[in-house]
Amino acid sequence: MSTNLVAVIAVLIIWLGIFLYLVRLDGKVKKLNRK
C-alpha cells in the first residue's frame, strides 16, 4: 500500500506539472494574440 501511495503522489505531481505548464502556455498564447 505504501508503494502505491508513493506512486499516486508521484503521478499526481507529474500531472500537475503538465497541467500548470499548459496553463502557463495558454496565458502566453492569449497575451500574444492580444498584441
Partner 1 sequence: MPNFWKFLLLLLMSAVIIAVWVMEPPQNQLGEVSRLFYFHIPAAWVTVLAYFVAMRQSVLYLRRKELLYDVKASSAAELGTLFCILATITGSIFAKMTWGSFWNWDPRQTSILILLLIYGAYLALRSAVREPERKAALSSVYCIFAFPAAVFLVFVTPRVYQSLHPADSIIDASGRIQMPAPILVTFLASLVCFTLIFVWMHRLQTAIGRDLHREGKL
Q: Give the residues lining the site for partner 1 (CB under 8 A).
A: 4, 7-8, 11-12, 15, 19, 22-23, 25-26, 29, 32-33
DSSP state of 24: H
CB of 17 to partner 1, least distance (A): 12
Q: Which of 30, 8, 12, 10 is nearest to 20 (CA)?
A: 12
Q: Residue 1: enclosing H or E segment and its boundaries?
A: none
CB of 28 to partner 1, least distance (A): 9
